[in-house]
Amino acid sequence: MHRNEMYDRLRAHAGPWDIIVVGGGATGIGVSIDAASRGYGVLLLEQNDFGKGTSSRSTKLVHGGVRYLEQGNISLVMEALRERGLLLGNAPHLVHDRAFVVPNYDWWEAPFYGLGLKVYNLLAGKYGFGSSRILTREETLERLPTINTEGLRGGVIYFDGQFDDSRLLIHMAATAYDLSATLLNYVRVTGLTKDAEGFINGVTARDAENGEEFHAQAEVVINATGPFTDDLRRQADASITPMIAPSQGVHLVFDRSFLPGESAIMVPHTSDGRVMFAIPWHGHTLIGTTDTPVDRASLEPVALEQEIDFILSTASLYLAHKPTRGDILSVFAGIRPLVKSAGGATAALSRDHTIHIEKSGLLTICGGKWTTYRHMAEDCVNQAAMLARLPEKPCVTEHLRLHGFHADADAFGPLRVYGSDALPIQDLMRGEPALAEPLDPALPYTGAEVVWAVRHEMARTIEDVLARRTRALFLNARAAMRMAPRVAGLMARERNRDGAWQTQQVESFAEVARNYCPKPG
Ligand SMILES: Cc1cc2nc3c(=O)[nH]c(=O)nc-3n(C[C@H](O)[C@H](O)[C@H](O)COP(=O)(O)OP(=O)(O)OC[C@H]3O[C@@H](n4cnc5c(N)ncnc54)[C@H](O)[C@@H]3O)c2cc1C
C-alpha cells in the first residue's frame, strides 16, 4: 500500500464512488473489503491512522464470547464461533488457537463450567477449536504453574482464538487495496454534502498532513466511526437521538513470568460481575479488562487509576506472584461503541451489531465485535447496495484469503504475523544486515519492519510504527520510548525528512507514550 498511489486512484476516479466508508477500524475496513470484493468502487477515509480507535485496543480474542452464552444469547455465540472458524481459515498467519483454563476453587465450579463450556464447544459445530474438559488440580498446575494454589481444586479447559488486532487490520487494509479499493489514513471527513432533495451524496474531507480539502461524491456514505458514530450522524442531522453509550476497557501488560505457560486464565466472575482474562501475548502477559461508562469518546483514552487498581487486585487473587504497579510494562484503554438505542428506522440484523439508516440516507453500522467484522460487513454492504440501488452482487468474503495468507507462518519466527510478507522483510535484512538488529533488547522488533511499514503499510508517524505496525507501545511503553529516536531516523531516511521532523516526531510520540506508563503507586 502506498499513500501516493491511493491519491492517484482518488484523482483518477471519475464520477461518484459507489460507496464511501468513513472510519478505518475493523468495521470500516471490513466493509471496504466486502464492497471491493463484490466489484463496487470504494473510497475509505480515516481521520488518523488505521486502527487508531478501538480496533487496536481489544483483548485480542477471536471468540464466541463465553459471557454471551451465560446471558443465553445463543444466536450471537453461534454467529461469532462460525466467524472465528472462517477467520482462522482466511488468516492463519494472524489467528491461532489458545487454551483457556477456568481455575476452580469451589466444588460446584467444575460441573457448572464444565457443562457450560461443553455447550460452547457444541455450538461451534464444525468450526470447533478443540474439546473442553475438566482438569485435575495437577493438570491445572501443569498448565498454569503460576496460579494461586490456595484452595485450588482443579480447572476446566477450553479453546478459543487469539490474534493481533492492529496487524490483522493492516492486512485487511492491504486486502482491500489489492481488490482495488482506495484507502487513505490521516484524512478526516469534515462534512456531508446533500443533493437538492436532502439526500447525502458525498463528503468533504481534509488531509491532516497538508491541510488540503477535497470533495468526493458517492451513491451511499457509510458511517463506520465506532465510538464517534453520533458525531458523524449529527453532521447529517443535528437533531438525532444518540445511539452510542461509550464504555472504556483497560488492559495491563506484564512480562511473561506472570503466566509462563501456553495457557490463558479465564475468570468468569470478577467482583464487579465481569469476565477477566490473563493471556500470553507476544511473549508477554496481557490482563484485562474493565467496563467503565465514559461521557465522550476520545482517540487516546487514558486508563483511570481505579481501573488499574481493580485489575491488579483481581489478578492478585489468581496469581501466586501478585503483580504490582511497578511490574506494569504498558497500560492501554479502548472505548467500546456500545449501542444503547437506535430509534427511528433501524434494521437490527443481528442482536450484536446495528445498522441504522437516517432520513438523509446516511447508513451507520456500529456495535458488534472484532470477531464478527466480516458478517457485519456483509450485512452492511447488502443494505448499502439496496439503499443506493447498486447492481446486486453476492458477498464473496466467507473464504476470501487475507493479504499475507500463509499456512505455515510459524516458520517465520517473530515475523510470523506478516505471513508471506515475511519473505521480502527477510530480503531487506539480508540486503542491509543492520536492519536485522533488534531496535531494543526488550522486544524483537527490527529496523527492517520500520522500513517495511513506511514503504508498504502507509505508516506516517513513529506512533504508527510503534503502536500499530509493531506492538511495541502496547507491550512495553518504556522500551518503545527508547526505540523512538532510531525509528525516527529510519523513517526520515525513507521519507526524506530532516532533523526537525525527527525531533518533533520523537516529542509527540513521547507525549502519547506517557499515558501507557502507569504512575508508580
Ligand atoms: C477493551 C475492549 C476489548 C475488546 N475485546 C475484544 C475482543 O477480544 N474480541 C472482539 O471480537 N472484540 C473485542 N472488542 C470489540 C472490538 O474491539 C470493537 O467492536 C471494534 O474494534 C470496533 O471497531 P470499529 O471499526 O467499529 O471502531 P474503531 O476501531 O474505533 O474505528 C472507528 C474509526 O473511525 C475513525 N473516525 C471517526 N470519525 C471520523 C471522521 N470524521 N473521519 C474519518 N475517520 C473518522 C476513528 O479515527 C476510528 O479509527 C473489544 C473492545 C474493547 C473496548
b/e burial code for range 218-232 (CB count within 10 A of at least 16 → b): bbbbbbbbbbbbbeb
**Cα(first)–Cα(last) distance of the chain, in Å?**
44
Residue 73 has pLDDT above 90, yes or no: no
pLDDT of residue 128: 83
Are 106 and 114 contacting, i.e. CB atoms less than 8 angstroms apart? no
Residue nearest (by alpha carbon) to ligand 1 atom 3:
58
Pocket lining: 162 vs ligand 1, CB cutoff 6 Å: no
Are 256 and 267 contacting, i.e. CB atoms less than 8 angstroms apart? no
Residue 329 has pLDDT above 60, yes or no: yes
Cα dihedral angle (223, 59, 382, 388), rounded to 10 degrees? Answer: 10
For a substitution probing ligand 1, which of 27, 43, 56, 58 has the most ligand atoms within 8 Å of its CB? Answer: 58
Pocket lining: 47 vs ligand 1, CB cutoff 6 Å: yes
Residue 91 has pLDDT above 50, yes or no: yes
For a substitution probing ligand 1, which of 32, 54, 167, 468 has the most ligand atoms within 8 Å of its CB? Answer: 54
Are 334 and 468 contacting, i.e. CB atoms less than 8 angstroms apart? no
**Distance between alpha carbon 198 and the CA centroid of its chain, in Å?**
35
pLDDT of residue 121: 87
Pairwise pLDDT comparison (186 vs 353), residue with the higher score: 186
- Range from 19-23, 72-76, 254-258 carrying the lowest mean pLDDT: 72-76
Pocket lining: 337 vs ligand 1, CB cutoff 6 Å: yes
In ligand 1, the atom with minimum distance to the C-alpha of 48 is: 47
Mean confidence (pLDDT) of the chain: 94
3-class DSSP state for residue 422?
Answer: helix
Pocket lining: 254 vs ligand 1, CB cutoff 6 Å: no
Q: What values do phi and psi take at 242, rounded to 5?
A: -60, 145
Share of the chain above pLDDT 90, in %: 87
Largest CA distance in the chain: 72
b/e burial code for range 409-425 (CB count within 10 A of at least 16 → b): beebebbbbbbebbeeb
DSSP type of residue 399: T
Pocket lining: 371 vs ligand 1, CB cutoff 6 Å: yes
pLDDT of residue 348: 37
> For residue range 358-413, what is the model confidence (pLDDT) as tens digits?
999 999 999 999 999 999 999 999 999 999 999 999 999 999 999 999 999 999 99
Pocket lining: 419 vs ligand 1, CB cutoff 6 Å: no
Among 259, 290, 258, 264, smallest CA distance to 279 is for 264
Pocket lining: 46 vs ligand 1, CB cutoff 6 Å: yes
Are 27 and 378 contacting, i.e. CB atoms less than 8 angstroms apart? no
pLDDT of residue 69: 81
> For residue range 266-307, what is the model confidence (pLDDT) as tens digits?
999 898 888 999 999 999 999 999 999 999 999 999 999 999
Among 221, 228, 184, smallest CA distance to 206 is for 184
pLDDT of residue 521: 67
Pairwise pLDDT comparison (204 vs 343), residue with the higher score: 204
Residue nearest (by alpha carbon) to ligand 1 atom 37:
225
pLDDT of residue 344: 42
Are 391 and 40 contacting, i.e. CB atoms less than 8 angstroms apart? no
For a substitution probing ligand 1, which of 55, 167, 335 has the most ligand atoms within 8 Å of its CB? Answer: 55
